[in-house]
Chains A and B, each alone.
Chain A
Amino acid sequence: SQKIEQNSEALNIQEGKTATLTCNYTNYSPAYLQWYRQDPGRGPVFLLLIRENEKEKRKERLKVTFDTTLKQSLFHITASQPADSATYLCALENSGYALNFGKGTSLLVTP
C-alpha cells in the first residue's frame, strides 16, 4: 500500500539553527511532491512544490530536495526562528489529484 512517512513526531531546535525534516514514501511514482505548514486549528498553508526533474528548490530560508531513487524528500529551514514553530506536512497526489499526507513533523524552535 502507499505510505508517506515523516521522521519523528517532534523536533526541537534552537533559534538560528537549521531544521531538517524528512519525508519518505513507498508505492508512489510522483511527478512532484509538496510541503505544507499547518498551525494549530488552521488549514495547511502551501510552502513548496518540487518536481521529479528538480533536485533542489529554494524559497527564502526554505530548501527542499527530492531524490526519486531514494524515494525521499528533505525539507530544510535555515536560520530558524520561533515563528517557524508549526507542524510541517509532506504530501503526494493520488491518481485523482487529492493529496495524501504524512503524519507531519512538529517543529519547535526555542529562543
Chain B
Amino acid sequence: GAVVSQHPSRVICKSGTSVKIECRSLDFQATTMFWYRQFPKQSLMLMATSNEGSKATYEQGVEKDKFLINHASLTLSTLTVTSAHPEDSSFYICSARDSGQGGTDTQYFGPGTRLTVL
C-alpha cells in the first residue's frame, strides 16, 4: 500500500520556539495533503487542507499565522508551529490523498508527530 512518512516522530521544545513537521508521500503524488490534530482520548480533528502550489485552507478556529503550512511539491507538505505554547502540545498527523491516475481516492496517514511544549 501507499506510504506516508512524517518527521520527526517526537519533539520536545521550549515555549516560544517554532517546530517544523514534515509529511512526505513516498510512492505516490499527492496534490492534496491534510493536517490533523488529536488530543488524548479524542478523535482526529482536521486543522487544514494543504494544496500543492497554493495557499492552505484552514478550519474554523485554527490560526493560520500560528500553524504555517507549505506544500512545496507533490510529495512534501510541512507544518510549522510558530511560537509554540504548552496548549499546542498534541499529536499531529498528516495524510495524503491518492487521487492521481490509477489512484484509489484513499487517504493514507503518516505515523504522527508527538509535540510536547514545555
Residues of A within 8 A of B (CB): 32, 34, 36, 41-46, 49, 89, 91, 96-104
Contact = CB atoms under 8 A, between A and B. Distances in A.
Contacts, number: 54
Contact of A46 (B6, B46, B106, B114): B106
Contact of B43 (A89, A97, A98): A89
Contacts of A99: 34, 44, 46, 95, 107
B46 A43 contact: no
Given A96-B57, A101-B44, A103-B43, A46 B1 contact: yes
B84 to A, nearest CB: 20
Given A41-B114, A43-B93, A98 B46 contact: yes
Interface string B80-104: 0000000000010101010100001
B111 interface: yes
The 9 closest A-B pairs by CB, nearest first: A43-B109, A43-B112, A101-B43, A43-B93, A44-B109, A98-B46, A103-B43, A43-B111, A98-B34
Contact of B106 (A41, A49, A102): A49
A98 B91 contact: no
B28 interface: no
A101 B97 CA distance: 16
Contacts of A103: 42-43
Contacts of B93: 43-44
A34 to B, nearest CB: 7
Contacts of B95: 43, 99
B34 A43 contact: no
A92 B30 CA distance: 19
B105 interface: yes
